[in-house]
Amino acid sequence: TDSDTADEAVRATCDDATTCKRFATSKGYWKDPYMQYFARSVGERKAPEINRGYYARVQGMNHLLDAFIRKTECDCQVINLGAGLDTTFWRLKEENLLPRKFFEIDFPTVVARKIHNIKKKPPLSKPIIETHSTDSLLLDAHSLDSDRYCIIGADLRDISTLDQKLKKFQLPTMLLSECVLVYMTPSHSSNIIHWAAESFHTAMFINYEQVNMSDRFGQVMIENLQRRQCNLAGVEACQSLESQKERFLKSGWEHADALDMMTVYSMLPQEDVARIERLEFLDEKELLHQLLQHYSICWATKDKLNLGISYITL
């Protein structure tokens, strides 16, 4: 059916993220020794502005996530919504920043692919086994359930099933959605945002996605995706930084901030930015600015335990 085709196109976006991250790490933008196990070949060349954009995205997300984990002294849980083939679990393990529990959710077919790779590749499976103390490790074709890392196949649009499958704790909770909500209708994404606010008393939600999409450049971005059958069903919520914050503030979150990625880029540690700018020559600075002005990081908090998480910033 049409909706199966649409879902398949959305699932395929996880390969875009993986191949772009793989290419950028192969050029040295940042280190990720685990990416290679999910994307075997480096793949075709990506333009320098794309690589810089992924650099800002990964550095920005990591900065906020790590700040939250440090603030809670790892006594927290992380729920990565639409995680795809993300490698954050392994990075956190390596950096001694592993939360009490790290959950990931994605469509069952994406999860099956991820688990297949984990099973086959000892550099991926070893860290999971190392962090598991009991003999109850479950690793079948469709799910992974270990002491510290849990991968769940579910459709994020079906909140009741999601809530059932997620054996969540009442711990300070970080929810991540990196290029995920934009593929759902605004009503589906606000259901998730609302459910998260209801479920956790002390929490932070970080959402990365497109913004400022009503101008000409935004229209071209939308058309390019549509050409690949991929529909940004949630683009209505991406009109402005204000609308990004607004949907959190009206769904039970106490505090929200949003920045476009050009601003994030200018706030990243300048020494490292100077390093990556030397990796590849970029002639058209204007192109980078335009591209980064069309993506944003929005983060929202609620802080019943008064941990000070609303002060976390870039």
Q: Is 179 in the site for ligand SAM (CB under 6 A)?
A: yes
Q: Is 14 in the site for ligand SAM (CB under 6 A)?
A: yes
Looking at beta carbons only, is 88 or 173 nearer to ligand SAM?
88
Q: Is 225 in the site for ligand SAM (CB under 6 A)?
A: no
Looking at beta carbons only, is 12 or 249 nearer to ligand SAM?
12
Q: In the 8-state DSSP scheme, what is residue 53?
A: H
Close Cβ partners of 153 (under 8 Å, ≥ 6 residues apart): 105, 106, 107, 108, 109, 110, 111, 112, 142, 143
Task: Identify residues 183-202 at the interface with ligand SAM (CB under 6 A).
Answer: 183-184
Choice from 86, 104, 209, 260 touching ligand SAM (CB under 6 A): 86
Choice from 65, 180, 237, 297 touching ligand SAM (CB under 6 A): 180
Least Cβ distance, residue 51 to ligand SAM (angstroms): 15
Q: Is 107 in the site for ligand SAM (CB under 6 A)?
A: yes
Choice from 106, 209, 257, 260 touching ligand SAM (CB under 6 A): 106
- Span interacting with ligand SAM, options 10-18, 96-104, 126-134, 213-221, rule CB under 6 A: 10-18
Q: Is 102 in the site for ligand SAM (CB under 6 A)?
A: no
Looking at beta carbons only, is 56 or 179 nearer to ligand SAM?
179
Least Cβ distance, residue 145 to ligand SAM (angstroms): 18
Choice from 32, 104, 178, 209 touching ligand SAM (CB under 6 A): 178
Give me the helices (H) in the chain, please: 2-27, 48-71, 88-94, 108-120, 122-130, 159-165, 186-199, 216-226, 241-249, 261-267, 270-277, 285-292
Give me the helices (H) in 200-298, please: 216-226, 241-249, 261-267, 270-277, 285-292
Say if CB 304 and CB 277 are below 8 A apart. Answer: no
Backbone angles phi, psi at 132, to 5 degrees: -115, 125
- Please spell the DSSP secondary structure of 106-143, one letter per residue: E-HHHHHHHHHHHHH-HHHHHHHHHT--SS--EE-SS-
Residue 273's closest CA among 287, 286, 261?
Answer: 261
Looking at beta carbons only, is 110 or 175 nearer to ligand SAM?
110
Say if CB 184 and CB 232 are below 8 A apart. Answer: no
Find how far residue 80's CA is from the centre of its chain: 7
Least Cβ distance, residue 15 to ligand SAM (angstroms): 8
Task: Give the residues lining the site for ligand SAM (CB under 6 A).
Answer: 10-11, 13-14, 17, 82-84, 86, 106-107, 110, 155-157, 178-180, 183-184
